[in-house]
Structure 1
Amino acid sequence: MLDFRFRKSAVKEYFVKKLLYRNFKPVYMVRSSNLEYYFPKNEAATRLLFKNDPVCVLTERMKKQVEQRFGLQRVHVIPNSVQVAHRKSIKSKTFKNQYIVTAGRLYDHKQFDKLIAAYAESELPEMNIDLRILGQGPELNRLQKQVEKLQLNDRIHFEGFVKKPEAYFAGALFFAFCSKFEGFPRVILESLACGTPVVSTDCPTGPAELLDGTNGILVPHQDFKAFKDALNQLAKDEDLLQNYRDNAKASIARYDHQEVNKLWKAFIESLKEK
């Protein structure tokens, strides 16, 4: 059984283990670098509760965080996956103007406000390159007011929930991302699988594992001047943009469904040996 729950209460987890999990051991899934979502703050209690249990994280950096902070030893890395090898051709979404795209739930920690500000300060509006934001969430009204204040309603477009965002990814010049924290952002994977480069901040964790210098630009975490400069650079340098496009799909071949399924099979076999 894979346990994806938030596990903030040591007392609750004690009783869950004693009552619900008394006859089998679950695999505890950790999907974000913000470990407070998945383990009680009391590190001693966490160590005692989970010391003999398998934990599955998304990146090597997350593995190191869990091991160093809580002293857990059975931590395994299995990343998110995406279809790369046999991906069908995608009809690109096109508009009057070229555009860059971003996507995700409109939550505060996704920092869409920072992305909007960086876009507004960049040269992209003057270059007739729009910003299209895919997703819904509680920050929508605040973000719309920010755009109105910047007088960029004709440049920044809120697309809402999009069932098949790949068409937007494929049609964009590049994907922009500046979340405060992540686990292993699937939207970056999806963008690269569509052959679309990425500009991202180096948030913990995920972007650094996906952007290797051949498929996009990675800037320091929370450095929004560098982020703005990267937007300008990639929008203006057609050769660099094309080079990143040419490399995008191949750069994430190891995250193809078939490859990640092999990791899952090996992991499941290792559990049988315990």
Structure 2
Amino acid sequence: MEKNKIALVTYSLSSGGLERVVANSTFMFKEMGYDVHLYVLESKVNYPFTGKLHQFNIDQLGFLSKVKAYLSIKKSIKKNKINLILDHRYRLNWITEIMWQKLIYRKQNVFNHIHSSLIYSYLFNFDLLNRFLFKKRLFICDSLGIERKVNREFPFLKTQTIYNFTDFKAIEQSGLNLGNYILAIARMDHENVKQIDVLLECYAKSSLPEKKIRLIILGDGVRLEEMKSFAKELKISELVDFKGFIPNPENYLENALFTVLTSKYEGFGMVLIESLIMQTPVISFDCETGPNEIIINRFNGLLIENQNKDKMIKGMNELVFNEELYNFLKQNSLTSVDKFRMDSIKEKWEKVISDTP
């Protein structure tokens, strides 16, 4: 098998942060000299990527057809002589996972990713099963917080934190003129992970509406209409713009006063880094993992006590009315995220891969 071939496996490349990370990383691995293969299991591909796409649309298949698709994946990996696999999937059930780890990945080196502080989405609550499936696998964690949590719960697993890289290429001035606004980027899913309802409530109770500072929300999802209705209920709908999914949000980040994150939990929080690259300060709940590895409180943004809405409102007001603090945060934003540049992340990947037998 050829060492310079790499496969990235994911469910979709649609509208989420994880999917964007996977798509972006195809460019990084190509730059590192790999022949990149991208295995997308479902039917949605929205983000730009590079490499050869292998798409299986299992979300549209019945049981027997899914089994055939999985066997096709195994044959494709063997045919393309792929030795290294980066698996970004969450775990559906133990039966399916036995097939993946013991049949499809039988002869490959596999790095399993963990993208969320909800580690039981990626591991099972049964030590013997995890030992059977994963004892020889390396788990790549998006943040140190995730790695520490995995180490506490499953000390027998091999782990390594590698941050998601961010492209620092200069963005041309867009001329985008939307007036004064703050920004949130979020998929509004069933689980309500990003808690746009909390953001709307905090915004409505802050002084920003009085100052005619708008709230722009990029993203879609099953709760989108519910969130629009909630904005009407709060009597702020005229000041809130739901723009839908925007694959390249840099221009919105560049022109915002600041970016807000009100998540229940995170794996990392890529939008915070992307905002800081555009020299736009950030404010976020200090949820279990992620934001506190990016935000240096009162240096490049505000880190708010987790789920404390009153303090979030106070922080949003401070970023508007405390001009000295705001300018200080803005001044520090870009240099504060140097460690997330592609070159730094490439070095970590090169070391991990070179250490793999």
* TM-score normalised by structure 2 residue count: 0.73
Q: Please tell me the residue identity of whatever aligns with 1:224.
A: K
Alignment of 1:167-178 (within 5 A): 167-178=251-262
Deviation at 1:193, TM superposition (A): 0.6
Partner of 1:149 in structure 2? Answer: 233
Aligned twin of 1:20: 104
Q: Which structure is higher in RCO with an 8 Å CA cutoff and minimum separation 6?
A: 1
Give how far 1:8 is off. Answer: 4.1
Deviation of 1:92 after TM superposition, in Å, equals 5.3
**Closer, same or farther in 2 for the Cα pair 1:216/1:128, shift >3 Å?**
same
The range that moved more, 14-23 or 218-227, is: 14-23
Structure 1: how far apart are the matches of 2:182 and 2:310?
A: 18
SS of residue in 1 equivalent to 2:193: helix
- Matched residue type, 2:294: L
Alignment of 1:124-139 (within 5 A): 124-139=208-223
Letter in 1 for 2:87: D
What is the aligned partner in structure 2 of residue 266 from structure 1? 351
Which piece of structure 1 moves more, 190-199 or 156-165?
156-165
| In 1, Cα distance between equivalents of 2:145 and 2:175 | 34
Question: Would the aligned equivalents of 1:47 and 1:70 in 2 still touch at CA under 8 Å?
Answer: no
Distance 2:175 2:268 in 1: 25
Structure 1 residue 159: deviation in Å? 0.9
Is the CA contact 2:266–2:288 (under 8 Å) kept in the aligned structure 1? yes
The gaps in structure 2 that reach 5 residues or longer are 1-84
1:3 matched to 2:82 = no
SS of equivalent residue, structure 2 residue 327:
helix
What is the aligned partner in structure 2 of residue 255 from structure 1?
340
Letter in 2 for 1:130: R
- Give TM-score, length-normalised by structure 1: 0.94
| Stretch deviating more after TM superposition (250-259 or 2-11) | 2-11
Amino acid at match of 1:204: E
For residues 44 and 228 of structure 1, the distance between their equivalents in structure 2, rounded to whole angstroms, comes to: 46
- Aligned partners of 1:9, 1:161: CA distance in 2, in Å? 30
Residue type at the aligned position of 1:98: N
Paired with 2:318 and 2:127, the residues of 1 have a C-alpha distance of 44
Could you tell me the percent identity over the aligned residues? 30
Please tell me whether the aligned partners of residues 10 and 46 of structure 1 are also in contact (alpha carbons under 8 angstroms): no
> Is 1:50 aligned with 2:157?
no
User: Counterpart of 1:91?
Assistant: 174
Is 1:159 matched up with 2:231?
Answer: no
Equivalent residue letter for 1:270 = D
Give the alignment partner of residue 81 of structure 1, picking from 162, 165, 168: 165
Are the equivalent residues in 2 in contact too, given 1:131–1:157 (CA < 8 A)?
A: yes
Deviation at 1:172, TM superposition (A): 0.7
The secondary structure found in structure 1 opposite 2:231 is helix
Q: Is the 1:8–1:39 contact (alpha carbons within 8 Å) kept by the matching residues of 2?
A: no
Give 1:235 shift. Answer: 1.0
Query: What pairs with 1:171-250 in structure 2 (closer than 5 Å)?
Result: 171-213=255-297, 214-250=299-335
RMSD: 1.4
| Equivalent AA in structure 2 for residue 100 of structure 1 | I
Work out whether 1:102 is the aligned partner of 2:156: no
Deviations 1:238-264 (A, max 9, x none): 111111111101000010111111111
Structure-2 separation of matches of 1:205 and 1:75: 16
Q: Is the 8 A contact 1:220 1:226 kept in 2?
A: yes
| Cα pair 2:281 2:333 within 8 Å, conserved | yes
Q: How much has 1:41 moved relative to structure 2?
A: 2.4
Q: Distance in 1 between matches of 2:175 and 2:159?
A: 40
Change (3 A) 1:269 1:90: farther
Question: In the alignment, is the contact (CA less than 8 A) between 2:134 and 2:157 conserved in 1?
Answer: no
Shift in alpha-carbon separation, 1:219–1:92, aligned structure 2, 3 A? farther
Count of residue pairs brought into register by the alignment: 270
**In the TM superposition, what is the alpha-carbon distance from 1:11 to its structure 2 partner?**
3.2
Per-residue deviation, 1:69: 0.7
Question: Larger deviation: 69-78 or 135-144?
Answer: 69-78
